[in-house]
Every structure is written in structure tokens, then in C-alpha cells.
Structure 1
């Protein structure tokens, strides 16, 4: 399906949507209540989750050595002493700051996994986005030049809060162009957007401007990925797909810390968008510690055993 191209935000109606917060919250509760993952299916869902993780380190003290260790963990997420023969999998991507992209590329190439695991990097004045557009675009180009295959850009949230939608649209369009062949993942910073309607409209504008993924958060906000926000973004993705025939991915990030959190997000995505979205091409979980939580849970429940 050829992707629709939008020259301006006037090409798609955006102002005929009304979102009732109480209804959204109650619908999330209903979805989870009616779609409980059974104990016998839990392991399969969690193994799927591992393949959807963007294994992330965004610390000020990141070094080449700890980035290389993270890459090995992404390549071999299940310890060999507890691996089943069928557990030949890896995470979807490794996500780092721009200057650490060469370390990721080198590590993945050494393991011959450069075509299997994506190299993601944050850019555009992460996490605030409050930098001149010219420097944000140059940061994207430099990061792609370092070898990143996916760029997680952060929008200037003040443009949403002040209703400068056309400017937001134009900025994301330019970010998409600066990405070249790299995928564009647009971080909305949902915890700072004020309303569910702002989240919905920002989601639609990001997709219209060329986003390959829309992402909830930087992980640095006080409020990050929540399931009601996820439902709003899923509905935006579904509406955009119905109108254009183009599938855009979703990446929740920040605050997904438990096995139950993980299962809840998988259930939400499956029920709202269907099984086609439960692939690394259309769904990612941004996390730094979640992989260890999943592995420890599977160990404790004897769902991974020695082969």
C-alpha cells in the first residue's frame, strides 16, 4: 500500500474527535478484565515480549564497555544455563545516546547481528526538545551518519500546549527528511501534554508528518507510559490506518517495570490493533530493566528450565 502524503495538516480532519477521560479509563479496565492471560499461555507472551524490547541505556555515565555488555545482553537475552532449545531469540533493538551508536554498531557487527538487531538512538535535544530546530536536525543527520537505523526524536511539547500544530507538523516533516532511510520514532512526552485530546491530536499529526512509530515518553517525565494513554494512541493509529491504509507502530516507554505491566500492554495492543501489530516492525517496549524482571519471573515460576 502506497503511503498517503500530507502537505499540510488541513489535508486531514483533526478537530471532530471528542475524548471522555472517564470512558477511556473504564474501557482499559474492561479490556484487561475480559482478556486475562492464562498461566499456561504466560510464558509464550513473555517470550514474545522479549523480542519486542528496545533494550535501553540513557545514563550520563554510559561507557563503551557497558554499551557493549548491553549489546551482548540484547543478542543473548536468556542465560545459556537456563535456555530451552527453542529459545533462540533476541531483543528488537539497542537504544542509546548518539555518541554511543558506533559502539553498538561495532558490537553487533562482531556478533554478526547487525541485520537482526536495530540500532536506535535518541536525538533532537533529548529529553526536552527545547533546542533550535537547526541543531536538532543536525543531530539527527549526525546520528544516522554514525550508523543508527532508528531515530527516536522528541517533540517540542510547548507547541502542543500552545496549539501551534502547523509548526509541529512542519518540524516532524523535516525530522523525517533528516532521517533518510532510518526509521523515525516520534516521542510525544505524553505526561506533559495536558489532555488525552492533545495526545490524540499530536499522535495524528506525527503520523501525518511521516512517523514510522509514535512513542509515549522519554522515560524522564513524571508520568510516562500509562494504559489509558496507550488506548488513546492505539485508537489514533487505528483511525490513521483506516484512513490511509498505512500501519504505524507504537512504542510505550517509561514506567513498564513488572511482568503484569508487560502483559497488560501486549493485551491492549492485541485487542485494539490485532496480531499484525505484535511484531518488532510495529510494536516496541522501551525499557532498561524489564528484561531482567521477565527472566527472573520465568526462573521463579519454573517456566524456563534446563534443556
Structure 2
């Protein structure tokens, strides 16, 4: 991981001066989406890069120890070994960046990864995911339980009410308490951008989350009606850039929700490269929150290697 963001005192003057040019953001998003993508071996290389940035996720009501175990095995061997051999990539240690589960499944994931002799991190959502509407004491206890069970990354959700009503000091104090509860575990702060109303609120919430010590800021829970979009990502990564220029701390970025295709992952990598530079193109500063994305990437890799698309039974899924 990158050097941790220690946060800073809440600067309400900085927050109050934020204004986002809506039309300029939309134009920039269209520009990035219109970029030509590499083909053949160049595309395959970028897709493998995307794999290493995935937080392979299951956040379903019917999660069981067995499907978490399958998820963990898939995370440790995300692309079929023979496909990697054909690309001379079998010894490059390609895994996903982490697995992400509910707090109740953290112990299962830790056990599965340990049995697979893997050091992959386990991330857990917490703090009343996805709505964040439970009591603060309960949300803090949830963080502590996930950390105690072995989670080394915690994806918290903010209290959207505080952001929507401009209670930035209260939001800052809550996130500071979550950061303290995380201890040594890295904290990713989910803004739930589809519920923040406008780009200016997204930018302000991003700043406040970083000031409070977030190691990553994340777009969405994946449960909102609007999740990760390119325009909102531009707003968030520019907040990251401004925070870096002010403090020297590099904060990571994690889009999540609705990212399903290999083509999507290439656009996200392009956005990060153009807006924040190559330093952010690694799992310590960039994650893709996804549950189905890996399947399409593996399918495209299979096509690159064999010249045809795989039947469903040829690519075992988590």
C-alpha cells in the first residue's frame, strides 16, 4: 500500500469555496470515453493490469462459507493457468487486489485464503452498509468486529444526511472515529455519489473524507440506482489531485457498482492514467469494485489467446 493518509484539520473555508463546472465535467468524461483503446497484445496487457486492481466482491444475502471460499480461490487464480502460460505470464503472480465481503463472512474469507497459502487482503464493508442509517455506536462496533476477524481493509459508508444538509464538521468527526476504529486496517470511504445530489456535493464530501484520514475514496455501494459514472469519477479524482497538491498525501480511488465489461475496465484505467498519472495505476491507489467484471475480462483474454470465445463451461467462475 501507499504511504497512509494521516488526514488534516477540517478546513471549512476550502470546502465552502468549492464550485464544480457541470458542463466541463461532462465534456471531459465524453472525451475520455471516446479514446481509442489498444488492440491485441496491448489490450491483453491492460486487461491483466485491470485484474490486479479488482476487489473481487460478493455482497449478497445468500452468501455462505462455500461461495466465499470459491470467491477466494478465484481471487488467487483469476485467469486460467493455461491462458497465462500462452502469454508467458504464469509466473507474474497475477491475482486480484483483494476480496470484499460482509463483516459476517470475514472470518470465512481469512480462513480460505490462509488455506490457499495466499496473502491477499480481505476487505469488509461496514458502518451500516449500504444505507449507513444505523446508530453511530453500532457502526463503530461493526468496524471493530471486522478488524478483529482479520479484515485489513474496511469500506465504510458515510452518513448521506450529513452531506446533503451541509453538516461537514459532523461528517468529518464521524469519519475520524471510523478511521480510529480501523486501526492498522486501511479505510476506504464510500460516498454513495448517486445520493449526494450534485457534483459540488460530491467534491466537498471527497475533500472532507480525505481530511478525516481516508486512504481511499469510493464512488458507491453498488446498491444505489446510480453508481460509478465517469463524470462523477472525474470530480472525485480531481479532489484527490488537489488534496495531494495541498498535503503531499496520495489517496486512492475506487469506482464500484455497474462495472461489468472488459471495455469498462479499460476506460477506467484510461481515466486514471490521464487524470492522476501512472503512479495511480496500481492496486495500492486504484481499485475496481466488481463481482462480474472478472468473468468478462477472462473471456476476452481467452479470445486473445485462442481466437474464439469460450463456452460458459470452459471458464469456471467464482
Partner of 1:32: 33
Partner of 1:74: 75
Paired residues of 1:150 and 1:185 also in contact (CA < 8 A): yes
Structure 2-normalised TM-score? 0.91
Q: Distance in 2 between matches of 1:78 and 1:260?
A: 17
| Contact 1:123–1:139 under 8 Å retained in 2 | yes
Task: Give the Cα–Cα distance (whole angstroms) in 2 for the partners of residues 3 and 156 of structure 1.
Answer: 21
Tell me if structure 2 keeps the 8 A contact 1:43–1:303: no
Structure 2 spans left out of the alignment, 5+ residues? 309-318
User: Matched residues in 2 for 1:231 and 1:20: separation?
Assistant: 11
Counting only pairs closer than 5 Å after superposition, residues 113-124 of structure 1 correspond to structure 2 as: 113-114=118-119, 117-124=120-127
After superposition, residues 193-272 of structure 1 pair within 5 angstroms as 193-272=196-275
- TM-score normalised to structure 1 length: 0.94
Matching residue within 97, 103, 109 for 2:108: 103
Aligned mates of 1:240, 1:304 — CA distance in 2: 45
Q: CA RMSD in A?
A: 1.6
Residue 3 of structure 1 and its aligned partner are, at CA, apart by: 5.3
1:303 is displaced (CA, Å) by 6.8
Cα distance, 1:9 vs structure 2: 3.5
Distance in 2 separating the partners of 1:74 and 1:109: 13
Shift of 1:191: 0.3
Deviation at 1:81, TM superposition (A): 3.5
* 1:73 Cα deviation after fit: 0.1
Q: CA deviation at 1:78?
A: 1.0
Contact 2:7 2:214 in 1 (8 A): no
Equivalents in 2 of 1:230, 1:69: separation in Å?
31
Deviations 1:126-152 (A, max 9, x none): 000001101100110111000000000
Instruction: Quote the Cα distance in structure 1 between the aligned partners of 2:220 and 2:73.
Output: 26
Query: What are the ranges of 5 or more consecutive residues in structure 1 without an aligned counterpart?
Result: none
Cα distance in 2, alignment partners of residues 2 and 118 from structure 1: 16
